[in-house]
Chains A and B, each alone.
Chain A
Amino acid sequence: MAGPRLSRKQIESLLTEVLTPVEPSAQFVHSLKARLVTYQGERPLSPWMLLAILGTAIVLALTSIGMLLRFIVGLVSLISLLGNRRNTNSGSRASA
C-alpha cells in the first residue's frame, strides 16, 4: 500500500483516532491513593521506626519478665514464711 504521502490533515485525523485517552483501573487509582494518603509514603514503616518499635518491644519484654520474676520470688517467700510460721506454731504447741 505504498500510496501517496498522507496529507497533514489526514495525519492529524489519524492521530486523533489513535491517541485517545485511556482510563486507569479504578482499583489501581483507589489503592494508590490509599497507599499515598493513608499510609503516607511508599513504605509502611521506615527503618528507624522499625528499630524504635523493636527496641520498645524488647524493653517491655524485659520489664515484664522482671515483674514476673519479682512476683514469683514474692510468692515463694510468702509460702515459705507461712510454712515457717506453721512450723513454729506446731513446735511451741508440742513443747507446751
Chain B
Amino acid sequence: MARETLDDLALAEIAGSDMEAFGELYERHVRRIYNYIYYRTGNHHDAEDLTARVFQRALRHVGNFEDKGVPFTAWLYRIAHNLVANWHRDRSRRPVIPLDKHVVVSEVGEHPEAEAIASEEQFLLLEAVRALPDDRQQLLILKFVERMSNAEIGEVMGRTEGAIKSLYHRTLSTLREEVKQRESGEAAEPGSSESK
C-alpha cells in the first residue's frame, strides 16, 4: 500500500511499527514544526536541535497516539510547544540577533529612507512579538507563517474558533500599544537600537 496516499491519522496508526510511515509523516511536517520553533527561539541552531527532539519524542510515543478528532499536526505542535517552553525556562534571556538579520536582509530597494523606517518598524514589531505571552506568539506564528485559519489554530491550541478570534484581536491591540511604546522609547533614547 502506498504510504503517500494515506492521510496523517492512518499513517500515525501504523507509524509505531512501520518506519516508512513515520518517515512519510516526518516529510509532511518537519518544515512547519521547524518554522514554528525557529520563530519561538529566534535562531536556526536551536530550531534544528529542538526540531530533532520533537521528532525523536514523536517517534517514541507515536505508538500511543490515539485519534481523538484532533489532527496529527496538533499533536506535533503540542510536543514542540512543550519543548520550547522548557527551552525558555532553561534560559533567562531570549536570543534576538538572527530574527533581526532576517528583517534587515529582506528589504533592499529604490527608496532607502522609507525602507529604513519600515525596517525599524519591523524590528520593533518583532521585539513586541517576542515580548508576548507564549500562547499569543503561537497564535501569530500559526496565522502568519503557517497561514492557518482560526478553526485550524483552535484545533492545534485546544480552543474554540471564537476564542482564537478574540485572542487574535487582543493580541493585535497589545502589539499596537507595544510598538507605540517602543517607538516612544526609541525617540527618547536616539541610537539605542544601534547597540542591539
Contact = CB atoms under 8 A, between A and B. Distances in A.
Contact of B51 (A6, A14, A21, A32): A32
A37 B103 contact: no
Contacts of A33: 23, 26-27, 30
Contacts of A14: 118, 121-122, 125
Contact of B120 (A1, A7, A22, A41): A1
A36 B23 contact: yes
A11 interface: yes
B48 A19 contact: no
B9 interface: no
A36 B140 contact: no
Interface residues of A, number: 31
Interface stretch (A23-31, A45-53, A59-67): A23-31
A6 B30 CA distance: 35
A93 interface: no
A20 to B, nearest CB: 7
B141 interface: yes
Interface string B1-35: 00000000000000000011011001100110011
A8 interface: yes
B125 A36 contact: no
Contact of B172 (A2, A12, A22, A29): A12
Contacts of A7: 176
Contacts of B27: 33
Given A14-B118, A21-B35, A28-B48, 15 more contacts: A1-B187, A5-B180, A6-B179, A11-B179, A14-B122, A14-B125, A15-B175, A17-B118, A19-B141, A24-B30, A24-B48, A29-B30, A32-B26, A33-B30, A40-B59
Interface of B: 19-20, 22-23, 26-27, 30-31, 34-35, 38-39, 44, 47-48, 51-52, 55-56, 59-60, 102-103, 106, 117-118, 120-122, 125-126, 129, 140-141, 144-146, 172, 175-177, 179-180, 183-184, 186-187
19 contacts: A1-B187, A2-B183, A6-B176, A7-B176, A14-B121, A14-B122, A14-B125, A15-B175, A18-B103, A18-B122, A19-B39, A20-B106, A20-B145, A21-B145, A24-B44, A32-B51, A32-B55, A36-B59, A37-B26
